[in-house]
């Protein structure tokens, strides 16, 4: 009887966690849609949303968003050096944005990228040999699938008329921005916070919970396509594509416990998109 009661309690606790994540995504989406936030504003809104979720709902320190079992946030001399190197190009971009009078959202995302260099360095300094296999598998699966989707997108939409050198430059600079920013928006949200809240180590039905988070991730992209296509087309497309890509991102985040694993794979796909069809500058 005691075991049965414990199973019921654990099931109820897990259902509550699913509902909490769903509610957080719904609030985030609703604010963005009601206030007609553009893609940059939608991303930046995630910073206070995830901070509130991490502290108020999960009741966990921020460091567990980046390193699931991180005991303390600390950068040694090498860590500070890595952080400063990672912040160098995004910092240059912020300077350029301010100098050219770019929109506030662009400047805000640039500053977020600079900030993301520090938790990114923290994750890199805590990367262990046991994490190498999940990292490579995530890169091969989520990264490979993402690149394939972007190539298909390029074939369907038509590629930008860039030279090979321009494509390489765009791809490299995109990676320099997208890897650290994943530690402040999007990856830190859907893997570091939401997936970690829904699925605890040792729980069953891991694939189903990963698909659930990934489907929410797809719906979260609605503001980016709002008005560009009918919802009856946008919703299934976003859910299917992001479920396929998000499943390995969640699985290998869980196996590694280090956000650098899904962040690099995600950044690779977006960098290839930018190099082929153009993307956010």
Q: What tens digit of pLDDT does each residue of 185-198 get?
A: 999 999 999 999 99
Quick check: is 118 in a domain?
A: no
Quick check: is 62 in a domain?
A: yes
Please report the pLDDT score of residue 10 as a whole number: 53
Q: Is the pLDDT of residue 168 over 50?
A: yes
* Confidence band, pLDDT 50/70/90 cuts, at residue 258: very high
Domain limits at 61?
11-68+129-277
Look at the chain and report how many structural domains it folds into: 1
Quick check: is 173 in a domain?
A: yes
* Confidence band, pLDDT 50/70/90 cuts, at residue 8: very low
* Confidence band, pLDDT 50/70/90 cuts, at residue 167: very high
**CA 184 to CA 84: how far, in whole Å?**
16
**CA 49 to CA 57: how far, in whole Å?**
11
Quick check: is 273 in a domain?
A: yes
Higher pLDDT, 280 or 17: 17
**CA 119 to CA 66: how far, in whole Å?**
7
Quick check: is 96 in a domain?
A: no
Q: Is the pLDDT of residue 229 over 90?
A: no
**CA 73 to CA 261: how far, in whole Å?**
18
Quick check: is 240 in a domain?
A: yes
Of 69, 31, 63, which is closest to residue 49 (Cα–Cα)?
31
Q: How many CB atoms lie within 10 A of CB 68?
A: 18
Please report the pLDDT score of residue 2 as a whole number: 38
Quick check: is 120 in a domain?
A: no
Quick check: is 94 in a domain?
A: no
Question: Can you tell me the mean pLDDT for 53-76?
Answer: 95
Whole-number average pLDDT of the chain:
93
Question: Can you tell me the mean pLDDT for 146-166?
Answer: 88
Do the Cβ atoms of 212 and 247 come closer than 8 Å? no
Please report the pLDDT score of residue 225 as a whole number: 84
């Amino acid at each position: 009887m005691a075991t049965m009661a414990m199973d019921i309690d654990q099931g109820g606790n897990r259902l509550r966690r699913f509902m909490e994540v769903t509610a957080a995504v719904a609030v985030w989406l609703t604010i963005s849609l009601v206030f007609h936030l553009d893609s940059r504003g939608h991303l930046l809104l995630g910073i206070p949303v995830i901070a509130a979720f991490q502290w108020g709902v999960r009741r966990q320190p921020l460091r567990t968003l980046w390193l699931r079992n991180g005991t303390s946030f600390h950068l040694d001399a090498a860590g500070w050096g890595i952080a400063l190197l990672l912040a160098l190009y995004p910092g240059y971009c912020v300077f350029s944005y301010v100098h050219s009078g770019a929109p506030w959202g662009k400047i805000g995302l640039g500053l977020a990228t600079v900030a993301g260099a520090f938790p990114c360095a923290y994750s890199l300094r805590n990367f262990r040999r046991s994490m190498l296999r999940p990292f490579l598998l995530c890169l091969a699966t989520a990264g490979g699938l993402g690149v394939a989707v972007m190539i298909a997108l390029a074939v369907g939409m038509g590629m930008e008329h860039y030279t090979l050198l321009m494509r390489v430059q765009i791809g490299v600079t995109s990676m320099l921005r997208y890897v650290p920013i994943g530690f402040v928006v999007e990856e830190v949200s859907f893997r570091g916070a939401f997936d970690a809240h829904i699925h605890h180590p040792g729980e069953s039905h891991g694939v189903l919970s990963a698909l659930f988070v990934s489907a929410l991730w797809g719906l979260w992209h609605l503001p980016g396509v709002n008005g560009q296509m009918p919802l009856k087309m946008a919703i299934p497309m976003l859910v299917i594509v992001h479920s396929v890509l998000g499943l390995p991102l969640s699985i290998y985040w869980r196996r590694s416990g280090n956000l650098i694993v899904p962040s690099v794979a995600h950044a690779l796909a977006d960098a290839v998109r930018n190099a082929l069809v153009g993307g956010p500058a």
